[in-house]
């Protein structure tokens, strides 16, 4: 920003710097020798600052001495920003501290902005605008990890409106953000409905509820009907024996799949047989780290490459396959691949291989299903997707820690509903049409969600340009506001904020009395130089040490309060006050120095 920006400022606004309207400080560096100690303290780190606000469910702890707590403590109304990130787009993500945890501090992956001449809520809008518009990304420096830096943040331009207008901007922005949040929630709920719709389409396909049954068509057309049972008999006669293939070393004891609801009662003309009777089942080749190079290198697919209904070829590895292994593990168009080992909710995730990577093989984290002529690959995929979503694969798996293994034996033993061949084709075509329509709906919803992010960015830009609320010539100008607070200690948010902290925070009702008093003290801005002297002055000039502790708002029965009181006392002793009867003995009398309150 420059002169051009100053010329375009709304009436009553001024162009200043972030460091002029508030105090900017980087958090304390994390040190191994500070993990434990006498003063274990919860602290906020960058990971706690999320796009949705502060996540305090996983606060870490380390030792902060009383002196360090004074420097790095958090106060209601502080703005916390991520100082560093691997992505420049994530640098400067901001949230307001609302006193959720008493006596909390922050680490050096976080920058604290403590407002002095600006509402916390308006400062947050400015920082959100800087994040959305790329100001923070352009300001950050570093290779690999991008750092915003407290000094660079403090030197950024800040368009400061009059205080009254700040309140109007914050109120209007909150109203519009609430509307955007409601719209986002509605779209996200609708997006979830499309996912459920997809699962219902797939379930209906496998249950024979999408198209007219083949036996009904044959009856209407007065022609012979060949059931799936009859066709399966032909396959058995043609093959002579099952072509089910298992990987070496598989334990086949108690290897049995569960019976899905889809085969409990199949439609007329259908049959229910084990998956292994409808095609060839094979586990992929085990990866040997000692075979990372050498001759006969071939590309191969692994779990990461097999997403639901698609093959991801963005990161395909290679390993050696001998001519014999290649013949066994080579993939061909129409093979269905499934995740053999995965998290329980994703085990059995399937996709059809369409020769995306010519000459490709597969690893033993995948199962290959190669259907006989009776079963279409596309129909088998519908069945396997249904088994994925309905929990059939999960129930058929065996778990080790957090990894579920399906195994070829259990997979091959799961019953599968099989319609006549012609009916399969109609089911596949009808399901594809419905799923394509659902995908179009999903894309429209995602586009709308993306546009909401753009609308949010426009809202922040309008707010900081003075376009969100009217200017009032009666407002005290921003230059007067800034001059009034120049050099001040950080403001008390309860004096300045648009939020009624005493009534709006449900947290206040959830903490005990000591914690509530701690939060309230933080809100008032405790331990500023001269405070104890002010208490002495108001009390007539002198007090016993114990009485001073109580009148200054500290709790004599709280170890934490006593520690903080003595830190403040050491800072002011012989500067703004002095001990009359000794240094700091419990019976000491303290009096204010004559020029301490002038």
Domains of the chain, residue spans: 3-162+476-496, 226-419, 527-592
Closest by Cα among 350, 391, 422, 417 to 205: 417
pLDDT level of residue 89 (50, 70, 90 thresholds): confident
On the question of pLDDT at 245 being above 90, the answer is no
Supply the mean pLDDT for the chain: 84
> What's the DSSP call for residue 363?
B
Whose structure tokens read 């050099």?
487
Sheet holding 40-44, edge to edge: 60-63, 40-44, 105-106
On the question of pLDDT at 247 being above 50, the answer is no
**CA 477 from chain center: how many Å?**
40
- Alpha-carbon distances, residue 466 vs 131, 160, 484 (angstroms): 18, 10, 22
Which pLDDT belongs to residue 8?
A: 84
In whole angstroms, what is the distance from residue 148 CA to residue 170 CA? 25
- Alpha-carbon distances, residue 404 vs 59, 367, 391 (angstroms): 31, 14, 12
pLDDT level of residue 289 (50, 70, 90 thresholds): confident
Which pLDDT belongs to residue 237?
A: 62
Provide the percentage of residues in the chain whose pLDDT is more than 70: 80
Which pLDDT belongs to residue 558?
A: 54
On the question of pLDDT at 564 being above 80, the answer is no
Mean pLDDT of 432-458: 95
pLDDT in tens, 162-208: 999 999 999 999 999 999 999 999 999 999 999 999 999 999 999 99
Higher pLDDT, 122 or 579: 122
Report yes or no: 82 and 93 within 8 Å, Cβ to Cβ: yes
Report yes or no: 410 and 257 within 8 Å, Cβ to Cβ: yes
Q: Please, what CATH class does the domain formed by 3-162+476-496 belong to?
A: alpha beta
Which pLDDT belongs to residue 381?
A: 98
Higher pLDDT, 265 or 252: 265
Which pLDDT belongs to residue 240?
A: 52
Whose structure tokens read 């050696």?
320
Quick check: helix, strand or coil at residue 129?
A: helix
**Cross-strand partners of 14:** 160
On the question of pLDDT at 252 being above 60, the answer is no
In whole angstroms, what is the distance from residue 55 CA to residue 64 CA? 21
Q: Which two tokens stand for residue 538?
A: 């108001």
Closest by Cα among 59, 66, 106 to 554: 66
In whole angstroms, what is the distance from residue 455 CA to residue 446 CA? 14
Higher pLDDT, 3 or 85: 85
Quick check: helix, strand or coil at residue 199?
A: helix
Mean pLDDT of 392-418: 92
Which pLDDT belongs to residue 570?
A: 65
pLDDT in tens, 19-29: 999 999 999 98
pLDDT in tens, 494-530: 444 444 433 333 333 333 343 334 434 433 333 333 4
pLDDT level of residue 265 (50, 70, 90 thresholds): confident
Higher pLDDT, 37 or 476: 476
Which pLDDT belongs to residue 544?
A: 82
On the question of pLDDT at 307 being above 90, the answer is yes
Report yes or no: 524 and 492 within 8 Å, Cβ to Cβ: yes
Which pLDDT belongs to residue 382?
A: 98
Mean pLDDT of 363-381: 96
pLDDT level of residue 291 (50, 70, 90 thresholds): confident
Which pLDDT belongs to residue 548?
A: 83
Establish whether domains 3-162+476-496 and 226-419 are of one fold. yes
Which pLDDT belongs to residue 488?
A: 61
pLDDT level of residue 128 (50, 70, 90 thresholds): very high
* Fold held by 226-419: Adenine-n6-DNA-methyltransferase TaqI; Chain A, domain 2 (3.90.220)
Q: Measured at the alpha carbon of residue 459, what is the angle toward residues 455 and 460, in degrees to the nearest 5? A: 120
């Amino acid at each position: 920003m420059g002169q051009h920006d100053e010329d375009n400022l709304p009436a009553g606004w001024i162009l200043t710097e972030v460091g002029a309207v508030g105090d900017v400080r980087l958090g304390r560096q994390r040190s191994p020798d500070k993990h434990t100690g006498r003063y274990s303290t919860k602290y906020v780190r960058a990971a706690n600052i999320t796009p949705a606000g502060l996540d305090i469910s996983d606060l870490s702890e380390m030792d902060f001495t009383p002196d360090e707590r004074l420097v790095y403590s958090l106060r209601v109304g502080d703005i916390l920003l991520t100082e560093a990130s691997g992505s420049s787009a994530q640098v400067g993500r901001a949230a307001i501290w609302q006193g959720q945890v008493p006596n909390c501090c922050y680490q050096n992956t976080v920058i604290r902005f403590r407002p002095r001449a600006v509402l916390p809520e308006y400062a947050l809008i400015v920082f959100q605008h800087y994040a959305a518009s790329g100001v923070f990304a352009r300001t950050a420096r570093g290779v690999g990890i991008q750092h915003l830096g407290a000094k660079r943040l403090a030197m950024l331009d800040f368009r400061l409106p009059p205080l009254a207008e700040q309140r109007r901007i914050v109120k209007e922005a909150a109203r519009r953000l609430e509307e955007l949040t409601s719209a986002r929630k509605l779209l996200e709920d609708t997006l979830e409905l499309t996912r459920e719709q997809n699962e219902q389409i797939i379930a209906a396909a496998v249950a024979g509820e999408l198209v007219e049954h083949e036996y009904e068509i044959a009856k209407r057309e007065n022609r012979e009907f060949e059931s799936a049972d009859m066709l399966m008999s032909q396959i058995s006669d043609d093959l002579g024996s099952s072509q089910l293939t298992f990987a070496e070393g598989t334990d086949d004891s108690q290897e049995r799949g569960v019976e899905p609801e889809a085969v409990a009662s199949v439609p007329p003309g259908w049959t229910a047989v084990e998956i292994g009777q409808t095609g060839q089942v094979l586990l992929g080749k085990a990866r040997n780290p000692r075979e990372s190079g050498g001759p006969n290198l071939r590309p191969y697919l692994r779990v990461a490459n097999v997403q639901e209904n698609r093959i991801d070829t963005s990161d395909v590895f290679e390993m050696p396959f001998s001519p014999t292994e290649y013949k066994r593990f080579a993939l061909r168009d129409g093979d269905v691949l499934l995740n053999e080992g995965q998290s329980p909710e994703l085990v059995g995730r399937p996709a059809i291989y369409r020769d995306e990577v010519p000459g490709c093989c597969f690893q033993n984290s995948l199962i290959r299903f190669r259907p006989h002529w009776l079963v279409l690959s596309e129909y088998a995929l519908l069945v396997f997707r249904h088994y994925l979503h309905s929990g059939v694969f999960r129930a058929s798996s065996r778990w080790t820690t957090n990894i579920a293994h399906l195994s070829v034996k259990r997979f091959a033993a799961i019953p599968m509903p099989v319609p006549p061949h012609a009916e399969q084709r109609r089911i596949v075509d009808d399901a594809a049409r419905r799923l394509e329509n659902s995908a179009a709906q999903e894309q429209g919803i995602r586009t709308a969600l993306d546009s909401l992010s753009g609308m949010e960015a426009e809202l922040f830009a309008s707010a900081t340009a003075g376009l969100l609320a009217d200017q009032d010539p009666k407002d005290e100008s921003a230059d007067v506001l800034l001059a009034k607070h120049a050099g001040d200690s950080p403001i008390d948010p309860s004096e300045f904020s648009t939020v009624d902290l005493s009534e709006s925070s449900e947290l206040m009702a959830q903490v005990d009395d000591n914690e509530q008093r701690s939060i309230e003290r933080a809100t008032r801005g405790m331990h500023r130089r001269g405070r104890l002297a002010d208490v002495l002055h108001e009390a007539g000039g002198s007090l016993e040490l114990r009485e001073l502790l109580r009148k200054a708002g500290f709790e004599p029965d709280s170890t934490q309060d006593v520690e903080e009181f003595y830190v403040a006392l050491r800072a002011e002793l012989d500067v703004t006050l002095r001990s009359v009867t000794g240094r700091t003995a419990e019976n000491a009398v303290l009096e204010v120095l004559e020029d301490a309150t002038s």
